Amino acid sequence: MHQEDEDYTNPPEEFIGLSDFTSCGSDQLSFRAGDRLLVHTKTSADWWWAELGGLCGYVPSSYLKQDVEDSYLNQGVKEDTSEDTSEDPWQDEEYFGSYGTLRLQLEMLSDRARTEAYRQVILTNSAPLKGKVVMDLGCGTGVISLFCARLAQPKAVYAVEASSIAEHTETLVRQNGCEEVVTVFQGRAEELELPGTVDILISEWMGNCLLFEFMVESVLQARDRWLREGGMMWPSGASLCLVPCQALDYYTERMVFWEQPYGLDFTALQSLAQSEFFSRPRFSHLLKPEDCLATPCDVITLDMLTLHVTDLEKLRGQFTFIVEKAGTFHGFTSWFRVQFQSLERDKTTLELL
């Protein structure tokens, strides 16, 4: 693949990386989930010519999602300053379209820590779940709904999914013999119509830095409409954690490498390496305990049973760190922690990091 005659007569469109992509050749461009790329030419249905940080190359179109707000500006759509009743930019056809692909579903199902945590919660609460009505919001392939049907004896499970994967979820429900218990509803939470209220609302809504994609708003709206008084939310609570840290291995790999590779002086490229590798967050970083320079703290804590949508507009976190060890401060590492309150009062709350 070679882009010999780039056409820059039309303004580039900004797209957002849905997941990490590592180039397999000199004419491809690596990027990470959340990166904003400028697409200059849609060369084919599968490969586009894009730019990131001054570098250009081919990228797989299936790994990208368009920045809706930016596309409106490119089309000359004037911003409406009146009351905004439009959909959230993340809740458009392209957003739900990405969740309709097996690639993204595979990525989520392969996260064993998350999936096993939900399975364990359902298993340990199997007795009190008996006869209850459960909503699985954003069910995807329906794995959590199937856990409920197989591991407990709920009266009904409403598996709600907005993307096209819902068509396949119905097949999986029948294939696993759960059609008497699990009913699939395809549609957005804001437009949802169910047979009645539910006793438990389960959702795997957490994203990068806990709130990325902002699905939590849809979860709260569904809670207010369909969760009966005294019902339970899973997860019942969530926290965003933060710690100052060093990342010597990563820094060495990306920066020190350019000092003298193969006995040659490449230090002139270090400033470029600095801007390319450290201008954006690094996702899926494996933090070693010894790399923490202070005690981690919870920056934001959410109680899913009492949190309101309006609270999301003014979330603020205050934190103070006391550096407890010598080291090089390279940045902050963040992660989230969620809690699952037991349905039985005398049982402890399960926690997922």
Catalytic residue among 14, 161, 204, 217: 204
Q: Please, are residues 341 and 237 in contact by the beta-carbon 8 Å criterion?
A: yes
List of residues 6+ apart from 64 with CB closer than 8 A = 15, 16, 17, 18, 37, 39, 48, 50
Q: Are 6 and 55 in contact (CB under 8 A)?
A: no
Residues (pLDDT < 70) of the chain are 1-10, 25, 67-102, 104-105, 108-109, 213, 345-353
Tell me if 20 sits within 8 A of 31, measured CB to CB. yes
Asked whether the domain spanning 97-236 has the same topology as the one spanning 13-72, the reply is no
Query: Which among 179, 213, 276, 351 is annotated as catalytic?
Result: 213
Give CA–CA dist 44/216, Å, rounded: 35
pLDDT in the model for residue 105: 61
| pLDDT recorded at residue 349 | 64
**155-185 pLDDT, tens digit each:** 999 999 988 888 899 999 999 999 999 999 9
Closest CA to 329 of 249, 271, 247: 247
CA distance 228 to 197: 6
Question: The domain at 240-337 falls in which architecture?
Answer: Distorted Sandwich (2.70)
For residue 334, CA distances in Å to 72, 116, 147, 174, 268 come to 32, 22, 30, 40, 32
Cβ contact 327:246 at 8 Å: yes
Alpha helix (H) residue ranges in the chain: 68-74, 93-99, 102-109, 112-124, 126-129, 143-151, 166-175, 216-226, 248-254, 270-278
Active site residue 94: no
Six token digits for residue 242: 């933060």
Q: Mention the CATH class of domain 97-236.
A: alpha beta
Q: Which CATH number fits domain 13-72: 3.30.2270.10, 2.40.50.90, 2.30.30.40, 3.40.50.300?
A: 2.30.30.40
pLDDT given at position 72: 37
Task: Break the chain into its structural domains and give their ranges.
Answer: 13-72, 97-236, 240-337
This prediction has a pTM of 0.67
Distance from C-alpha of 117 to C-alpha of 272, rounded to nearest angstrom: 42
Active site residue 161: no
